[in-house]
Amino acid sequence: MLVRNLTTKFGENAGKIWNTLYHAGTTDENQLQESTKLSKKELYAGIGWLARENKIKKVNDYYQLESTNLTDSVGTTAGRVYKILDIWDEADIITLKKLSNSSEENVFAALGWLAKEGKIQHENGRFTLNKE
């Protein structure tokens, strides 16, 4: 996945989500995924990115462009993922899920949050903290 750097890839995903919500308004997850043509993992990473930018809100099962209400869930998981990577140096998604006690969707949203901050890298299926 280091084809383009992780920040670029997740940022592009966030842009697709933002554009869809901008034009369609309030949209549920299935419609959002269908409109953006993103996989579930890419969708959640983009949602995490937008949450870090304070641009996406989830109400029931619907997303909209507005000040975020996802800081507690996504931001907290991002803190856990960061701490895991700080201690372990690297981890795959299965390890991050297990050690953060979070769903795969929440871990990908957290990775999107951390990518927006420029704090993570991904290579050969493993995530690491950005040491630059």
CATH of the domain at 101: 1.10.10.10
Average pLDDT, integer, range 48-71: 96
Which of 17, 33, 65 is the C-terminal boundary of a domain?
Answer: 65
Give the range of the structural domain holding residue 85, as residue numbers without chain letter.
71-129
Q: Mark 73-102 as b/e (b = at least 16 C-beta within 10 Å).
A: bbbebbebbbebbeeeebbebebbbebbeb
Using a 10 angstrom Cβ sphere, with 0-12 exposed, 13-18 middle and 19 or more buried, the burial of residue 61 is: exposed
Q: Give how many domains the chain has, as a whole number.
A: 2
30 and 52 part of one domain: yes
Please tell me the predicted confidence (pLDDT) of residue 130.
87
The answer to the question of residue 48 being in a domain is yes
The confidence band for 42, taking pLDDT boundaries of 50, 70 and 90, is: very high
The confidence band for 2, taking pLDDT boundaries of 50, 70 and 90, is: very low
Structural tokens at position 81: 């993922």
State yes or no: pLDDT of 78 exceeds 80.
Answer: yes
CA distance 58 to 70: 7
Note the Cα 45 to chain centre separation in Å: 2
48 and 90 part of one domain: no
pLDDT in tens, 30-41: 999 999 999 999
Please tell me the predicted confidence (pLDDT) of residue 117.
94
Please tell me the predicted confidence (pLDDT) of residue 1.
37
The confidence band for 109, taking pLDDT boundaries of 50, 70 and 90, is: very high
The answer to the question of residue 1 being in a domain is no
Q: How far from each other are the two terminal CA atoms of the chain, in whole angstroms?
A: 19
